[in-house]
Structure 1
Amino acid sequence: MSYLLKGGSIATFVDGSSQPKCYTADVLVEDTKITQIAPDIVAGPNVEVIDCQGKWITPGMVDTHRHLFMTVLRGEQGDWLLSEYIVKMTWTIQHALTVDEVRIGQLAGCLDALQCGVTTVLDHFHSATTAEHAEASLAATIQSGARVVWCPARQSGATQLFPTLEYGDEEETFKWQMAKLKEWGTKDNGNLTPDGRVTLGLSYDLMGIGPMSVHQEVINYAREVGCKIITAHAVKQPKIIPFRDGGLLGPDVIFSHCNTLFDHTDPDDEHWAALKDNDVAIASTPVDELGMAHGNPIAFEAVRRGVRCGLGADCTSVNGGDIFTQMRCVLQFVRARRHEHVERNKHTLPQYNNETCADAFRLATLGGAEALNMSNIIGSIEVGKKADIVIFDTDSPNLAGIDDPILGVTFHATNADVELVMVNGEIVKRNGRLTKVLWGPVARELKQRANEVRERFPRDFLEARWNKYYQANGAPMF
């Protein structure tokens, strides 16, 4: 299908510009791409005209760090600390999830993202405990219609927590994961769908465990077989310098969180220098970082230092899957810290806020695309780019009366205002409802599977395990 988006207000950053552009024009979408942006475009044959008068047209938002399958655990973990999460989730629930629980969580997670206007997700998939789990996750991802960098994790699940933590399936898991990585990657140089909408990456959180030679072997192998992205968590434990010393940093690496760098204020700090010198990116997920004791979010500090950075929702079991909340949270956090510094040091009050809505909007769109090395195809409304587009209903109770789309999207919009979503030129949400995959059957199965998980892992059981572990070992670091 071809589409003509008629008369909308376009709000976007564009490559090479530090300021957003807001203007009224028509947008012509042919096949998967934006082919024309101009006033008064005349629709040709076989072009569907979509009336966008008075509506906002923006790029699809880009999520640089999310665990999609964890939507099956939605609403269970909002009060957890990160250490609590590691014991209750990573070392208890994760290895015991069934293939169907992972599949429906993955599909629901993708649809949740699309419902919220998030068209691209880097999926840190850390529940690849068997080949069947991994294939189910991938199939659900492809089915959803979302643009996803699918990054299965090179790790096995914990098979025992007491009396000591054990990974009894590690040897077998290592073999099949490396074989599948080669199978997935070499079919089409890392493209997991013919159109390149879903691509392959690698999640790697084992740095610091075992010899460096093993880490080098795995990561270099992943690059050889076509993995587009190498991603790793970096919260409290040092990960950046070991990656650097192993010669493994590069523009295809994106570290999630990096909260420990918030206190690295030295302009010549070696951690920041390693990121900048090797063109490494950061994924910042401020909502759960602040609530789970990761530390303070560093998105704006990364931008200030010239390090590529985007936003992410992280665990949809902890918080919602929209990026609107992440934008507001990180923007107001950095403003509050700056205001606090001014008052504490009795400096003259500034005339304006240093960080703006436009800065947050950029993190959510073009900044995220840059972090994923995809700004040549997504992240902005420009001719030649893929048609990953969101249309907002400005007659909604949230948006009516607002004339600045950048401010409106950043501070007022919700998923209820997302009227239409397009990915790769295909409409996946129209008139406020998902269209490629109908939500009703997914919701019914999601409820069923979520209840099954809760029945196997009731809250008092998880709490007892956490108490037992904490009394014996204290809080684990990550």
Structure 2
Amino acid sequence: MTYLLKGGIIATFTKDSNKPSVYAADVLVEDSVITQIGENIAADPNVEVIDCDGKWVTPGMVDTHRHVFTTVLRGEQCDWLLSEYLVKMSMFLQARLTAEEIRVGQLSGCLDALHSGVTTILDHFHAATTPEHAEASLQATIQSGARVVWCPARQSGPTQLLPTVEYGNEEETCKWQMEKLAEWGSKDGGRLSPDGRVTLGLAYDIIEAGPISPHKAALRYARENNVSIITAHVVKGPRITTWRDAGLLGPDVVFSHCNCLYDRTDPDDEMWEAMKENECAIASTPVDELGMAHGNPVAIEAVQRGVKCGLGADCLSINGGDIFAQMRMALQFARGRGHEIIEREGHAGPKSNKHLCADAFRLATLGGAEALNLDDKIGTIEVGKKADMVVFDTDSANLAGIDDPISGITFHASNADVELVMVNGEIVKRDGKLTKVPWGPVARELKQKAREVRERFPREKLEELWSEWYEACGAPRL
């Protein structure tokens, strides 16, 4: 299909500039690619013209860390600390979800992202407890139409929590997970959908379990089998140096959170240097990092130190699926801490803000694409790039009267203002409604499955489990 987005106001970074470009232009999309950008582009009879007069046209936003399937638990975990999440969710609840619940959570989570103008996701899928669960997640991802680096986790669930944690299925689980990894990786070089929208990654959080040699072998095996991204959680511990000392860091590594890097004032700090020298990336999720006791977010500091960084929504059971909130939180946290330091040192207030709306906008678009090594394909609006774009309704109650799309999107926009979303040249949302997969039937399935999960695992049962664990073991190590 060929589309001409006519008369819009483009807002985008480009690889060659530290400042965003904002200008009026038409955009021609042929098949999956942007082929022309300019004024008064003529439309052939077979081209569908989309009136974007006065509307903002931006790159699709990139989410570098999201647990998509957790949408089936949406709203259930908003008051939890990370330590509670690890016990109630990671160690107990997720292994007890059915493959059908995973499918519905995955599909609705991808659609939630598209609804909010998030066209690309790194999905840290840590509920691959059986081959059926993994395939349910993958097929729902492909069905959604989102661009996803799908990263099934190499781990097994506990078979016993108390009095000690036991992983009785680890050998069996490791065997089928590695076999499936090779199977997925052999399909068209790790392209898991025919159009290449869904590609293979790997989530690997078990680096500190046992001797290092099996982990080195597993990650070498993954790289040999066309895994494009390897991702892992780093919160408070020095896990970065574990990866470095084992020779496992590289441009394909994305560490989520990295709160341990906050306020390390030495410009030659070894962990920051390891990240920069090995061209690793950080996925920062400031909303839940601040609320769940991960620590302070490092997104803005990462950019200042020359480390690739993008934003993410993390758990859809805790946060909304948009990136707008993450942009605002990352920016305002960095501003607030900067102001605090100035005042603590006895100086007069700053003349102006050091960190600008454009910094947050870049994190959400090109910064995320760089983190996933996809900046040659997405993250900007340029000729030759994939047509992953968002059109904002500037007549909306949120945006009317704003003339700068960068500040408007950073501080005023919501998913209600996202009028049209295009991924790989395909329109997946039009006139404010999802089109590739209509939302109504999915919403009904989601409500039913969420109800079933709540009935099997009521909040009181989860709280009892957490209390018993905390009494016996204390908070788990982050």
Residue of structure 2 equivalent to 1:83: 83
Deviation at 1:428, TM superposition (A): 0.1
The 3-state SS of whatever aligns with 2:49 is: strand
Deviation at 1:263, TM superposition (A): 2.7
Residue of structure 1 equivalent to 2:234: 234
- Is 1:26 the counterpart of 2:26 in the alignment? yes
- Is 1:198 the counterpart of 2:193 in the alignment? no
Deviation at 1:195, TM superposition (A): 1.6
Q: Which whole-Å CA distance do the structure 2 matches of 1:296 and 1:410 have between them?
A: 20
The 3-state SS of whatever aligns with 2:262 is: helix
Deviation at 1:92, TM superposition (A): 1.1
Q: Which whole-Å CA distance do the structure 1 matches of 2:175 and 2:219 have between them?
A: 15
Alignment of 1:16-415 (within 5 A): 16-415=16-415
Alignment coverage as a number of residue pairs: 478
Deviation at 1:363, TM superposition (A): 0.1
AA matched with 1:456: R
AA matched with 1:257: H
Measured against aligned partners, the alpha-carbon deviations of 1:113-140 in whole angstroms (never above 9, x if no partner) come to 0000000000000000000000000000
- Asked whether the 8 Å contact 2:118–2:323 carries over to 1, the reply is yes
- Asked whether the 8 Å contact 2:124–2:151 carries over to 1, the reply is yes
Q: Which whole-Å CA distance do the structure 1 matches of 2:99 and 2:372 have between them?
A: 28
Structure 1 outlier segments of 4+, above 3 Å? none
Measured against aligned partners, the alpha-carbon deviations of 1:224-278 in whole angstroms (never above 9, x if no partner) come to 0000000000001221111111111000000000001103211111000100110
Residue of structure 2 equivalent to 1:453: 453
- Asked whether the 8 Å contact 2:419–2:430 carries over to 1, the reply is yes
- Asked whether the 8 Å contact 1:421–1:430 carries over to 2, the reply is yes
The 3-state SS of whatever aligns with 2:384 is: coil
Residue of structure 1 equivalent to 2:474: 474
Q: Which whole-Å CA distance do the structure 2 matches of 1:167 and 1:454 have between them?
A: 25
Alignment of 1:408-447 (within 5 A): 408-447=408-447
Measured against aligned partners, the alpha-carbon deviations of 1:42-73 in whole angstroms (never above 9, x if no partner) come to 00131000000010000000000000000000
Deviation at 1:348, TM superposition (A): 2.8
Q: Which whole-Å CA distance do the structure 1 matches of 2:299 and 2:57 have between them?
A: 25
Deviation at 1:187, TM superposition (A): 1.5
CA RMSD of aligned residues (A): 0.6
- Asked whether the 8 Å contact 2:163–2:472 carries over to 1, the reply is no
- Asked whether the 8 Å contact 1:95–1:159 carries over to 2, the reply is no
The 3-state SS of whatever aligns with 2:3 is: strand
Deviation at 1:15, TM superposition (A): 1.0
Measured against aligned partners, the alpha-carbon deviations of 1:102-121 in whole angstroms (never above 9, x if no partner) come to 00000000000000000000
AA matched with 1:274: A
Q: Which whole-Å CA distance do the structure 1 matches of 2:475 and 2:192 have between them?
A: 39
The 3-state SS of whatever aligns with 1:263 is: coil
Q: Which whole-Å CA distance do the structure 2 matches of 1:106 and 1:139 have between them?
A: 9
AA matched with 2:418: V
Deviation at 1:196, TM superposition (A): 1.1
The 3-state SS of whatever aligns with 2:85 is: helix
Deviation at 1:212, TM superposition (A): 0.7
Q: Which whole-Å CA distance do the structure 1 matches of 2:319 and 2:195 have between them?
A: 31
- Asked whether the 8 Å contact 2:2–2:31 carries over to 1, the reply is yes
TM-score normalised per structure 2: 0.99
- Asked whether the 8 Å contact 1:6–1:27 carries over to 2, the reply is yes
Q: Which whole-Å CA distance do the structure 2 matches of 1:21 and 1:225 have between them?
A: 39
Q: Which whole-Å CA distance do the structure 2 matches of 1:159 and 1:103 have between them?
A: 23
The 3-state SS of whatever aligns with 2:469 is: helix
AA matched with 2:386: K
Deviation at 1:37, TM superposition (A): 0.1
AA matched with 1:263: D
Q: Which whole-Å CA distance do the structure 1 matches of 2:467 and 2:374 have between them?
A: 44
AA matched with 1:476: P
AA matched with 1:245: D
The 3-state SS of whatever aligns with 2:186 is: helix
Q: Which whole-Å CA distance do the structure 2 matches of 1:461 and 1:27 have between them?
A: 54
Q: Which whole-Å CA distance do the structure 2 matches of 1:291 and 1:214 have between them?
A: 35
AA matched with 2:466: W
Measured against aligned partners, the alpha-carbon deviations of 1:143-199 in whole angstroms (never above 9, x if no partner) come to 000000000000011121112111111111000000000000011111111221100
Which of 375-384 and 238-247 deviates more? 238-247
AA matched with 1:385: K
The 3-state SS of whatever aligns with 1:189 is: helix
Q: Which whole-Å CA distance do the structure 1 matches of 2:337 and 2:350 have between them?
A: 13
The 3-state SS of whatever aligns with 1:365 is: helix
